[in-house]
């Protein structure tokens, strides 16, 4: 079983957020990907539709999550299950960075409203 040290995690940034990747095929995972998300104060990520189930757990902070046109205020300790085909947007309306932990299966893609498809390197 590989151990991924925090010093070995790979950081990616997109849409104002930071994704710190731990479990991917590059680190030895065969089926799942996992990363820490850092969503700075005032960040509002664009809506995107995912092709894989995601489990989104908020470790610290507070977020507004819109899932298929229904908005939820989540706080530290809350978990969101995002099913394949769901459209998601994330907003941090607070004055401090929110920290999340996300797990999904390898092959996640996100489609933006304009049709752009993103294959995030932290989930493949």
Q: What is the pLDDT of residues 68-118, one digit of tens each?
A: 999 999 999 999 999 999 999 999 999 999 999 999 999 999 999 999 999
What whole-number distance in Å separates Cα of residue 63 and Cα of residue 91? 6
**Backbone CA torsion sign across 122, 118, 37, 97:** positive
- Give the range of the structural domain holding residue 102, as residue numbers without chain letter: 6-123
- The answer as to whether 1 is a domain residue is no
Q: What is the DSSP letter of 28?
A: T
Q: Average the pLDDT over 53-79 and give the result.
A: 97
Task: Reply yes or no on whether the pLDDT at 1 is more than 80.
Answer: no
Q: Is the pTM of this model over 0.85?
A: yes
Phi first, then psi: what are they for 100, rounded to 5°? Answer: -125, 165
- The predicted pLDDT at position 111 comes to 98
| Residue-level length of the chain | 124
Which CATH number does the domain housing residue 43 bear? 2.60.120.10
Closest CA to 82 of 61, 100, 62: 100
């Amino acid at each position: 079983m590989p151990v991924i040290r925090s010093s070995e995690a790979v950081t990616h940034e997109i849409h104002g957020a930071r994704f710190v990747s731990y479990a991917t095929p590059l680190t030895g995972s065969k089926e799942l990907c996992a990363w820490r998300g850092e969503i700075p104060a005032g960040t509002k990520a664009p809506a995107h539709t995912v092709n894989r189930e995601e489990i989104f757990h908020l470790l610290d902070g507070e977020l507004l999550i819109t899932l298929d046109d229904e908005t939820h205020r989540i706080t530290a300790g809350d978990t969101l299950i995002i099913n394949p085909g769901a459209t998601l947007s994330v907003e941090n309306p607070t004055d401090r960075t929110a920290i999340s932990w996300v797990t999904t299966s390898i092959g996640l893609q996100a489609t933006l409203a304009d049709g752009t498809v993103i294959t995030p390197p932290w989930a493949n």
